[in-house]
A = this chain, B = another copy of it.
Amino acid sequence: MNFSIGEAARTAGCKVQTIRYYEQIGLVSAVARTAGNQRVYSDESVSRLAFIRHARALGFSLDDVRQMLSLADKPAQSCEDIDAIARERLQEVNNRIRLLTSLKTELEHMISACAGGKIADCRIVQALSDHEHCDDDHLPAT
Give min CB distance, A5 to chain B, whole Å.
18
The proximity string for A residues 77-119 relative to B, scoring 1 for CB distances below 8 Å and 0 otherwise, is 1111011001101100110110011011011101100101111
Give min CB distance, A73 to chain B, whole Å.
9
Complex Cα distance, B119 from A57, in Å, reads 22
Q: Which of A34-61 contact B (CB under 8 A)?
A: 47, 50-51, 53-59
Number of interface residues of A (CB under 8 A): 60
Can you give 18 A-B contacts (C-beta < 8 A)? A47-B130, A53-B131, A54-B128, A54-B129, A54-B131, A57-B103, A58-B107, A58-B128, A72-B125, A75-B118, A77-B118, A79-B116, A82-B114, A82-B125, A83-B116, A86-B114, A86-B124, A100-B100
B114 touching A83, Cβ below 8 Å: yes
The dominant DSSP class at the A interface is helix
Say if the beta carbon of A76 comes within 8 Å of chain B: yes
Complex Cα distance, B90 from A102, in Å, reads 11
Copies in the complex: 2
* Contact flag A124-B74 (CB < 8 Å), given A90-B104, A104-B90: no
Say if the beta carbon of A122 comes within 8 Å of chain B: yes
